[in-house]
Amino acid sequence: MRIAMARSVCHVVAAAEDGERLDALLAACGLYASRSAAAKAASANRVLVAGETAQKSRIVRAGEAIVCELDDAPSEFVVEGEDIPLDIRFEDESLIVLSKQAGLLTHPSADHPSGTLANALVHHCGADHLCNVQGDCDRPGIVHRLDGDTSGLMLAAKTDQSGEHLMEAIRAREVDRRYVALVHGIIRHDTAMIDAPIARHPRERNRMAVLDAPHARDALTTLRVLERFAGGESDNGYTLVECKLFTGRTHQIRVHMQYVGHPVVGDQTYTAGAPRSAASSLGLDRQFLHSCALAFDHPISGAALSFRDALPADLRSALSIIRNRSEGLTDAGHEMADLIGGEQDEKRGS
């Protein structure tokens, strides 16, 4: 990586630019190489609007002064291939469907410059055989992300054409993404919808929050209860849920579940409402969140593709601790029994 000295430039929003998103305007003006690069600069507090740090999604107004901190020369960052195991479920000349292991970050960052999924994809495919549609050289093949400590199904693209199609399908809500989460407390309704906007936390930059603010982005999650577990000495019970994402905001499921008073078990960041006892985390050192199902149309052939991924060993182990407290599978739980382990447990008990 080559590090360059920084300089500041000022852009005054013209009348024709009134109402544009900050990151889009900065990219359109050529101040940053891409919208993604502009968004990164805003997240790093390198962009001021009217003298204040601004979110990437801020709507700018005519006459406002935007001050950007720029590098004199673009930094050079090459993602090196690393022999990191990949659990590939489908692969052709256009895309890869894989199950990401917990603890594997999606792409490099300043704190983690290597050892990521992007490094593994470069080793597996070669840098020249991965898409680069996000405008950043540190995200080869990446079209969407999972949190580092979230496991499960994920898409990667080999060509720019397939990458652009997949990213647009995700934006258009044409990719069916479902997760299994174990949350604290008992959710008595079998289905629910959480429609609450999410933005960067106003004081803690590494966290997101549900905010009633102009810059917050819409976020929609639906739930189906799979199984409930009665409360114990160190907890207030648990609910196993299937979450379907209609939007893809950072930490969306974790933020939404905390917002409704049912934080994800094992989450180290979004803990409001969780029992204080360490035992309530069921031995987990990461959040109980797994991308269990993925369905979409192939970006080139149009063929319908669908994939399912069972819970990994650490999450099954956590469930085994409370299985004797189960109130039984719901109808949705019976549909998902092969993924969550309930079917095998029921057979053993019969």
**From residue 23, how far is each of 29, 210, 267 by CA, in Å?**
10, 21, 30
Count of Cβ atoms closer than 10 Å to residue 278 Cβ: 9
**What does the H/E/C string look like for 223-239?**
EEEEEEECCCCCCCCEE
Catalytic residues: 147
Query: What whole-number distance in Å separates Cα of residue 188 and Cα of residue 211?
Result: 26
Q: Maximum distance among all alpha carbons in the chain?
A: 72
The pLDDT value given to residue 73: 46
Count of Cβ atoms closer than 10 Å to residue 87 Cβ: 14
Determine the 3-state secondary structure of 171 from DSSP.
helix
- Take residue 239 and report the two structure tokens written for it: 């609910």
Determine the 3-state secondary structure of 253 from DSSP.
helix
Give me the average pLDDT of each 10-residue run along the chain (350 residues). Answer: 55 80 83 80 88 88 86 63 97 98 88 90 94 73 94 97 93 95 98 94 84 89 98 96 94 97 97 95 97 97 97 97 96 96 48
The pLDDT value given to residue 137: 62
**From residue 260, how far is each of 221, 223, 227, 289, 290 by CA, in Å?**
12, 12, 18, 17, 20
Query: What whole-number distance in Å separates Cα of residue 138 and Cα of residue 331?
Result: 43
Contacts of 226 (CB under 8 A, 6+ apart): 180, 240, 241, 242, 329, 330, 332, 333, 336, 340, 342
